[in-house]
């Protein structure tokens, strides 16, 4: 959603931590926890667990938006705070984490630094653009929504076993560049997370991804 400054001189500032009690914000923070676990497992090269963390981060992100739209009694300030929190978490979940995935899987090859920098720059610009302009007049995103990056990466990584590590690292880097370009492209894409049916489909996808990667841990 577009974040607007809704504060007025009479706005009462609540204590910071009171916003943690807001259910959508709790979901956002749960997604941040999943992202932290994903980053941790990427750094120690437990990639199956990292993929599970990445997809659950998306699931919580979509869930918080669904809950926020269903809840009654949330003030404009509550919505603004939730939107800002969501934006900051998105930068970590869908910008930093995929970059760490590529760097870790490439054994931190410095040649991949440029690739991941471009991903981070384009991802940050994409989020800033949406934060400024919101959805287009036909209720669509301009550019590929950045949460799709993680959804696609966890799917692509399912095929890592069929290639040697160096080759697949190059494939991940190329995929990251393509996604980054799509993030800032003028193409119009629908807001998938705004439809409850799509949230259910993502929940099913999340469970399937969890089962698939858990199989490697047994």
Q: What is the mean pLDDT of the chain?
A: 89
For residue 97, CA distances in Å to 67, 77, 116, 195, 197 come to 25, 29, 10, 26, 27
102 and 172 Cβ atoms separated by less than 8 Å: yes
| Neighbour-count burial for 193-218, b at 16+ CB within 10 Å, e otherwise | beeeebbeebeebbeebbeebeeeee
Distance CA 218, CA 21 (A): 37
pLDDT digits (tens, 9 = 90+) for 23-65: 888 999 999 999 999 999 999 999 999 999 999 999 999 988 8
Tell me the whole-structure pTM to 2 decimals. Answer: 0.88
Question: What's the CATH number of domain 19-215, 3.40.50, 1.20.140, 2.40.128, 1.20.120?
Answer: 1.20.120
61, 28 Cβ separation under 8 angstroms: yes
Q: Which residues of the chain have pLDDT under 70?
A: 1-11
Domain ranges of the chain: 19-215
pLDDT at 36: 98
Query: Locate tokens 């001189």: which residue?
Result: 9
C-beta separation of 151 from 58 below 8 A: yes
Judged on CB neighbours under 10 Å (0-12, 13-18, 19+), 133 is: exposed
Instruction: Give the model's pLDDT for residue 7.
Output: 52
Instruction: State how far the Cα of 8 lies from the Cα of 178, in Å rounded to an integer.
Output: 43
116: its two tokens: 């991941």
């Amino acid at each position: 959603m577009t974040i607007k400054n809704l504060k007025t001189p009479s706005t009462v500032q609540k204590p910071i931590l009171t916003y943690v009690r807001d259910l959508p914000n709790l979901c956002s923070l749960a997604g941040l926890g999943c992202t932290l676990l994903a980053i941790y497992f990427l750094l120690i090269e437990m990639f199956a667990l990292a993929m599970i963390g990445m997809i659950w981060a998306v699931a919580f992100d979509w869930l918080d938006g669904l809950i926020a739209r269903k809840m009654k009694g949330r003030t404009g300030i509550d919505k603004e705070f939730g939107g800002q929190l969501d934006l900051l978490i998105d930068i970590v979940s869908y910008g930093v984490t995929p970059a760490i995935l590529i760097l870790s899987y490439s054994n931190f090859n410095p040649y991949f630094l440029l690739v991941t920098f471009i991903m981070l720059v384009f991802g940050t610009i994409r989020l800033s653009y949406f934060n400024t302009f919101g959805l287009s007049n036909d209720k669509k995103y301009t550019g590929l929504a950045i949460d799709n990056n993680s959804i696609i990466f966890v799917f692509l990584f399912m095929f890592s076993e069929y290639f040697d590590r160096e080759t697949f690292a190059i494939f991940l880097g190329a995929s990251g560049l393509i996604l980054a370009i799509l993030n800032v492209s003028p193409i119009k894409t629908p807001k998938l997370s705004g439809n409850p049916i799509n949230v259910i489909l993502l929940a099913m996808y999340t469970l399937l991804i969890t089962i698939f990667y858990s199989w490697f841990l047994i």
